[in-house]
């Protein structure tokens, strides 16, 4: 079983426990990577839209961007919106099967379920690392749905884990301890935020943890996730992710013109 954590919060650890392998596991986690853009915080105002990226990317354009970011890796897996949408019901089923404590965090996790990708043109590329726990993913989503885009912007400005920076999830009889925090970072995107998350399975910490960087460029949302690389410090990982984000921003702006 290949376990990869590719999401904002340690929810990926619970998905990994499902026993899925290869493309199924990756597709579910990558679909979940888009889910964090669906939470909202009405107290925050949305940032201004970039003048250099005024158009939402099409599915074809989003796919072109993630393929370029994935480079020439022969093992890279690219998934379009249809593939991601098909994985949502199974991802929701896994969420429904979880026992989450404290109970208030069950609602928080459920909020991450995007439900559908209507009005969103999305593509994801996943590049495996040197071991089953290590991977890098790139996601690009063009938002035609203004309400969903506003929710993504609200989350980016709020940076609110709703008191669920630490919680436990149990699925299939296995308990996962999860912890997440925000990390300071800036990039060429209109808005940038980064989270660091770690999980423990059976009392043992999963090496490397997961870093998730999100960037908003006009009506487009970029996500970069790095998991399982324990050889680098947080500063090194975030610096490399920022470089990748800046490349992604340039590609999105070029495609949206």
Per-residue pLDDT of the chain (257 residues; tens, 9 = 90+): 333 322 333 344 333 333 332 333 333 343 343 343 333 333 334 444 444 567 999 999 999 999 999 998 889 999 888 888 887 787 777 777 888 888 888 776 665 555 568 899 999 999 998 887 888 999 999 999 999 899 888 878 888 888 888 988 887 788 888 888 999 999 999 999 998 988 888 788 888 888 999 999 999 999 999 988 888 999 999 999 999 999 999 999 999 87
Q: Say if CB 16 and CB 27 are below 8 A apart.
A: no
- Residue 122: what pLDDT? 92
- Residue 87: what pLDDT? 79
- Residue 131: what pLDDT? 81
Round to whole Å and give the CA distance between 153 and 44. 9
DSSP 168-225: EEEETTEEEEEEEEEE----SSSEEEEEEEEEEETTEEPTT-EEEEEEEETTEEEEEE
Exposure on the CB side of residue 140, measured as CA atoms within 13 A: 31
User: What is the per-residue burial (b if ≥16 Cβ within 10 Å, else e) of 225-241?
Assistant: bbbbbeeeeeeebbebb
Q: Say if CB 93 and CB 28 are below 8 A apart.
A: no
Residues in Cβ contact with 77 at an 8 Å cutoff, skipping those fewer than 6 apart: 23, 26, 125, 126
- Residue 143: what pLDDT? 95
- Residue 158: what pLDDT? 82
Question: Position of tokens 């996943």?
Answer: 126
Round to whole Å and give the CA distance between 181 and 164. 10
Peptide bond into 102 cis (omega under 30): yes
- Residue 112: what pLDDT? 54
Residues in Cβ contact with 145 at an 8 Å cutoff, skipping those fewer than 6 apart: 118, 119, 120
């Amino acid at each position: 079983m290949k376990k990869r954590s590719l999401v904002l919060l340690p929810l990926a650890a619970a998905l990994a426990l499902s026993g899925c392998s290869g493309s199924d596991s990756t597709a579910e986690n990558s679909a979940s990577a888009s889910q964090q853009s669906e939470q909202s915080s009405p107290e925050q105002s949305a940032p201004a839209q970039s003048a250099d990226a005024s158009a939402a990317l099409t599915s074809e354009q989003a796919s072109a961007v993630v393929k370029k970011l994935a480079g020439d890796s022969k093992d890279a897996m690219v998934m379009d919106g249809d593939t991601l949408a098909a994985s949502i019901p199974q991802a929701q089923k896994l969420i429904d099967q979880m026992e989450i404590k404290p109970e208030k965090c069950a609602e928080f996790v459920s909020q991450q379920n995007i439900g559908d990708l209507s009005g969103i043109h999305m593509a994801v590329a996943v590049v495996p690392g040197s071991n089953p726990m290590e991977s890098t993913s790139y996601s690009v989503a063009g938002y035609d749905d203004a309400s969903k885009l506003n929710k993504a912007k609200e989350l980016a400005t709020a940076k609110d884990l709703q008191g669920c920076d630490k919680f436990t999830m149990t699925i299939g009889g296995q308990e996962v301890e999860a912890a997440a925090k925000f990390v300071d970072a800036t990039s060429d995107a209109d808005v940038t935020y980064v989270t660091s998350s770690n999980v423990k399975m059976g009392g043992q910490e999963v090496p490397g943890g997961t870093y998730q960087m999100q960037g908003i460029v006009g009506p487009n949302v970029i996500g970069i996730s790095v998991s399982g690389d324990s050889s680098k410090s947080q500063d090194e990982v975030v610096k490399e992710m920022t470089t990748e984000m800046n490349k992604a921003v340039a590609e999105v702006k070029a495609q949206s013109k």
